[in-house]
Structure 1
Amino acid sequence: MSTTDTTPPTSGVVAKLSTLDRLLPVWIGLAMVAGLLAGRLIPGLGDVLNAITVDGISLPIALGLLIMMYPVLAKVRYDRLDTVTGDRRLLWASLALNWILGPALMFALAWLTLPDLPEYRTGLIIVGLARCIAMVIIWNDLACGDREAAAVLVALNSVFQVIAFGLLGWFYLAVLPGWLDLPTTDLAVSGWQIAKSVLIFLGIPLLAGYLTRTLGEKRKGRDWYENRFLPRIGPTALYGLLFTIVILFALQGEQITNRPWDVARIALPLLAYFAIMWAGSYALGASLGLGYERTTTLAFTAAGNNFELAIAVAISTYGATSGQALAGVVGPLIEVPVLVALVYVSLALRKKFIDSKVRSAARMGDI
């Protein structure tokens, strides 16, 4: 979906994307390469970028995340949220996918593919526990998903993240391996640490988006807000995304380029995880009759992960040079291009949903 168009067309979506959106994979690829090269070629860059941190995250990354999320949350129609909260099929499906299937799938894949590499295995399990609250909003918006549903599901994930992250970490790293006669690992992370991450990286842009819409519509009207203000701020989300990617890969460029085989080993279960979660969630949403927009939202909110939180937890618990931290860093290296590709897959599937709806209506005599 074009970030400058609040009412995307129902056919030929990919062909009608703005240049910025249509070439998004290219921009993201260039951002990743630029970050990796900067991290390798500029001495002391990592120290400068990490000089100031926000909840364990480099200040430039924190700013990028906030800039990235604000425009999309400003687009949300908060007066429509009740239509989402009343959809119990969507809510229960999201909770089951995010907090039962997702962590269990990552645990299984980590042990199946990395039985001899405990540090990377632990790092991947931590990634699986950190459910997405940030970039999923961008992917959902680009794929023309339901913005209001995305806001509700992200908020729901955030609440569960504060409550469940520590408990699930203890279960998957200490309890379940013991039951299966596998080596156990400890994970020291406080609920307050997770709550701070949620409040900063979701709470601030969510509040800003809500206040912007409320005050903007009150003073200028909905027509001005939807057709003049939103198109102006829309591209900012992608600029924030690209900036965040450059900084993130600049900070970890040396680790990634110095250990290519390790990166490949970590990438394999991640690729399988994203593909299985997205495809399975999409199939579930379609079978439940959620329609294209909410099926898309369900798939992206289930497949995405909060790698910012995973990296912060891994670094604070095991150290910045640990295998656990490297596994967290490889997460966005794989997740970003894969989910961008899935945006285009989703847009291609959109026509099938529309055609199916038209055929069903025709059979019922509605057209």
Structure 2
Amino acid sequence: MGLFERYLTVWVGLGILAGVGLGLAAPGLFEAVARIEFAHVNLVVALFIWVMIYPMMIQIDLAAVKDVGRRPRGLLLTLVVNWLIKPFTMAALAVLFFEHVFAPWVDPASASEYIAGMILLGVAPCTAMVFVWSQLVKGDPNYTLVQVSVNDLVMVFAFAPIAAFLLGVTDVTVPWETLLLSTILYVVLPLIAGALTRRVWLRQGQTRLARGVAALKPWSVVGLIATVVLLFGFQAGTLVSKPLVIALIAVPLILQSYGVFFISALGARLLRLPHAIAAPACLIGTSNFFELAVAVAISLFGLSSGAALATVVGVLVEVPVMLSLVAIANRTRHWFPAVGRV
């Protein structure tokens, strides 16, 4: 591992501190950057995420993607965890903590909004960052692409009905422009760019491809750190003004992340999935499509609502939690066969 990858946790920690510090020192700058958005997708954050993902897309062999359908066990695990387990366990934890455990410190109206925001996070599995986590656990890039693509397809049909059922409302509207733009920016465009780059480099030989991938790899970490700085800079004022509320919301979100990860790991172990398939499958269910969750929370409950705040807290806790889960996934490599039934 290179210097960036070896000390990634340190760089992310410094990025968090830098983001909060800069956000407090220059709030106007971050407010201006936050306004550079379209369809609830911040274009500057999108650029940094694109920088993260593009080097990974070069490693995808599109000719091998078609063979993934012959190995459906990993896809089945992803779909079951993301759509039959994660949304309902998130709702259960949210209700447990904010209607019972934290009831003495949170008024009922605010509690119901926090619960709603957490439910929206639970129904929005991640699209973009999965490629980052997959690379960090040495996941199969071709299989990860299919897992993400199938997840996005299911999201088109399942997000609104499940969210409406768990929220107890009937007017959940999927912000199609957010979903479509995010998919194009985070999957389609970097995949096309990666495929073209891979084709050009392969014409010069496998050595050229390997050298190019190695040269671009640190940029994935640079994009991740820049994203962290921006996300924490955007919310620096909220972090300082509402630390207790943020801490309370973070508790069930963190428990959910670890719980879903270990449920997925158990399923992968029972299915005897190889680590290159099992690890990304475990991580897909633990991270969230925060643009979608934030957009729906704002449309349903308002920009300053507790629901919107809860989705933002989900963004803030995700990177540190996911890095810890990446470390666990790498240290439990021996739990899974190098080659298995997928």
Please state if 1:350 is matched with 2:342.
Answer: no
Counterpart in the other structure of 2:103: none
Question: Which amino acid is the alignment partner of residue 159 of structure 1?
Answer: L
Question: Which amino acid is the alignment partner of residue 259 of structure 2?
Answer: I
Question: Which amino acid is the alignment partner of residue 99 of structure 1?
Answer: W
Contact in 1 for aligned 2:30/2:230 (Cα 8 Å): no
User: Equivalents in 2 of 1:197, 1:166: separation in Å?
Assistant: 17
Contact in 2 for aligned 1:150/1:301 (Cα 8 Å): no
Please state if 1:173 is matched with 2:167.
Answer: yes
Counterparts of residues 294-313 of structure 1 (less than 5 Å): 294-313=277-296
User: Equivalents in 1 of 2:56, 2:295: separation in Å?
Assistant: 24
User: Equivalents in 1 of 2:62, 2:288: separation in Å?
Assistant: 24
Counterpart in the other structure of 1:204: 189
Which deviations, in whole Å up to 9, do the C-alpha atoms of 1:174-216 show, x marking residues without a partner?
A: 2xxxxxxxxx585343434423332232222222222222333
User: Equivalents in 1 of 2:316, 2:178: separation in Å?
Assistant: 24
Counterparts of residues 6-45 of structure 1 (less than 5 Å): 17-45=1-29
Secondary structure, counterpart of 1:76 in structure 2 = coil
Contact in 2 for aligned 1:56/1:316 (Cα 8 Å): no
Counterpart in the other structure of 2:212: 229
Counterpart in the other structure of 2:105: none
Q: CA deviation at 1:352?
A: 4.9
Question: Which amino acid is the alignment partner of residue 195 of structure 1?
Answer: L
Between the two proteins, what is the percent identity of the paired residues? 34
Please state if 1:319 is matched with 2:302.
Answer: yes
Contact in 2 for aligned 1:55/1:197 (Cα 8 Å): no
What is the aligned counterpart of 1:286 among 259, 269, 287?
A: 269
What is the aligned counterpart of 1:112 among 96, 110, 129?
A: 96
User: Equivalents in 2 of 1:206, 1:319: separation in Å?
Assistant: 34
Question: Which amino acid is the alignment partner of residue 206 of structure 1?
Answer: L
Counterpart in the other structure of 2:59: 75
Counterpart in the other structure of 2:129: 135
Contact in 2 for aligned 1:50/1:58 (Cα 8 Å): yes
Q: CA deviation at 1:149?
A: 1.2
Counterparts of residues 262-281 of structure 1 (less than 5 Å): 262-281=245-264
Please state if 1:98 is matched with 2:82.
Answer: yes
User: Equivalents in 2 of 1:188, 1:80: separation in Å?
Assistant: 36
Secondary structure, counterpart of 1:75 in structure 2 = coil
Secondary structure, counterpart of 1:160 in structure 2 = helix
User: Equivalents in 2 of 1:124, 1:352: separation in Å?
Assistant: 31
Counterpart in the other structure of 2:321: 338
**Count of aligned residue pairs for this structure pair:** 329
Which deviations, in whole Å up to 9, do the C-alpha atoms of 1:243-276 show, x marking residues without a partner?
A: 1111111111111221011011101111111011
User: Equivalents in 2 of 1:262, 1:57: separation in Å?
Assistant: 25
Q: CA deviation at 1:68?
A: 1.2
Task: Give unpaired runs (5+ residues) of structure 1.
Answer: 1-16, 175-183, 358-367
Flag the 1:185–1:323 CA change in 2: closer, same or farther, 3 A: farther
Contact in 1 for aligned 2:24/2:236 (Cα 8 Å): yes
Counterpart in the other structure of 1:215: 200
Question: Which amino acid is the alignment partner of residue 136 of structure 1?
Answer: V
Q: CA deviation at 1:164?
A: 1.9
Counterpart in the other structure of 2:102: none
What is the aligned counterpart of 2:174 among 189, 205, 223?
A: 189
Flag the 1:55–1:210 CA change in 2: closer, same or farther, 3 A: farther
Task: Give unpaired runs (5+ residues) of structure 2.
Answer: 100-107
TM-score (ref. length: structure 2): 0.90
Which deviations, in whole Å up to 9, do the C-alpha atoms of 1:81-136 show, x marking residues without a partner?
A: 13322112111111111111111111111111122301111111111111111111
TM-score (ref. length: structure 1): 0.84
User: Equivalents in 2 of 1:224, 1:254: separation in Å?
Assistant: 46
User: Equivalents in 1 of 2:172, 2:84: separation in Å?
Assistant: 19
Secondary structure, counterpart of 2:172 in structure 1 = coil
Secondary structure, counterpart of 1:285 in structure 2 = helix
Question: Which amino acid is the alignment partner of residue 344 of structure 1?
Answer: A
Secondary structure, counterpart of 1:321 in structure 2 = coil
Which deviations, in whole Å up to 9, do the C-alpha atoms of 1:272-304 show, x marking residues without a partner?
A: 110111111011111101111111121111222
Q: CA deviation at 1:309?
A: 2.2
Contact in 2 for aligned 1:166/1:190 (Cα 8 Å): no
Contact in 2 for aligned 1:31/1:246 (Cα 8 Å): yes
User: Equivalents in 2 of 1:186, 1:267: separation in Å?
Assistant: 27
User: Equivalents in 2 of 1:190, 1:59: separation in Å?
Assistant: 17
User: Equivalents in 1 of 2:75, 2:314: separation in Å?
Assistant: 26
Contact in 1 for aligned 2:178/2:291 (Cα 8 Å): no
Counterpart in the other structure of 1:245: 228
Q: CA deviation at 1:49?
A: 0.7
Flag the 1:46–1:70 CA change in 2: closer, same or farther, 3 A: same
